[in-house]
Amino acid sequence: MNYIQQAYKGDNTWWKVWFTTLLTTGIFILNFVFYLFTTAEDLEEAYDLMKQMPTNISLIVNLLPFAVLLALLFLCVKFLHERSLLSLTTVRKKVDVKRILVSFSLIVVFTLVTFLISYSIDSSEIVFQFQPVKFLILFIISVLLFPFQIGFEEYVFRGYLMQQIGIFVKNKWMPLIITSVLFGLAHSANPEVAELGFVTMIFYIGTGLLLGIMTLMDDGLELALGFHLGNNLMAALLVTSDWSALQTDAVFRYTSEQATQTLMEILIPILVFYPVFLIILGKIYKWSNWKERLFGKVTKPLVLEEDIPLQDHTKEL
């Protein structure tokens, strides 16, 4: 049984799917509507208002709602759809924590190395602002709350929606594309989009594709969870800027008042680095039959495999 087929283990009555989807993704829908119908001046005022809050308070305000949303998603899956959380996470008998650590380490090392190279070449617009006490508080908040944020985004996009769309359209490529686009649109209200323009959506959608491919090829969310967590922690702890989505007491700060990324700088990670990540992970986990795993059909299994009891794997989640 592949990852998308796991959805067949639960009750997929149409109104339950719509209820769960709207309940958990409503915040993203409102953000997108806000972005579409708000003028550039009003957006700038909203971002300026957020910047007036203490950085750590602002971070908590931004991240804490995801803990509530993740809890709502889990409750809906468990009691409304009558499925185990394990079936939403992986096809394996338990969550593979080692996989999470591998992808987490991969993106953290990559981010640190590329930043240090960039810093050594040109540090004219990068300021070292490390303050031990402030950074420690930031670190604690990040470690406690980012898992909820990335957990919710992965479980709702690469998990719940990918599975539900997959069993509806009966293939794998369409949920991969749809959830990646939705993942991009969910970030449309980020300050980077307002600063750089809608072209930034290419990066978010491309990242969604990367995480979706990881999930389908590996038949589980573990690699996507680790990668996403490592990326967001680095974004919060390593370097910040006045125009980034997260205003934090990071180690470094970009002093440029405006974002200066070009289209090529946005495309390079998607066209060069992301395929390298997939090749590395493919070698580690011996992925094969890419065509079937990414473009194959989704059919209801004749026999549904039983999950181990929920209490046996709660510590792994």
Q: Is 115 exposed, middle or buried (0-12, 13-18, 19+ CB in 10 A)?
A: middle
In this prediction, residues 277-291 reach a mean pLDDT of: 97
Distance of alpha carbon 55 from alpha carbon 52, whole angstroms = 8
Q: What is the pLDDT of residue 200?
A: 82
State both tokens at 292: 């079937």
Distance of alpha carbon 160 from alpha carbon 8, whole angstroms = 12
Q: What is the pLDDT of residue 68?
A: 96
Which one has a higher pLDDT value, 245 or 200? 200
Q: What is the pLDDT of residue 74?
A: 98
Q: What is the pLDDT of residue 261?
A: 61
Q: What is the pLDDT of residue 243?
A: 67
Neighbours of 192 (CB within 10 A): 18
Q: What is the pLDDT of residue 310?
A: 38
> What single-letter amino acid sits at 56?
N
Which one has a higher pLDDT value, 255 or 130? 130
Distance of alpha carbon 273 from alpha carbon 276, whole angstroms = 5
**Arithmetic mean of pLDDT over the chain:** 88
Cβ contact 245:133 at 8 Å: no
Angle, to 10 degrees, between the axis of helix 222-237 and the axis of helix 201-218? 150
In whole angstroms, what separates CA 288 from the centre of its chain?
A: 25
Q: What is the pLDDT of residue 266?
A: 79
Q: Please report where in the chains the tokens 């205003």 appear, as a residue.
A: 247
Q: What is the pLDDT of residue 314?
A: 31
Residue 251 has pLDDT above 70, yes or no: yes
State both tokens at 28: 């993203």
Which one has a higher pLDDT value, 28 or 60? 60
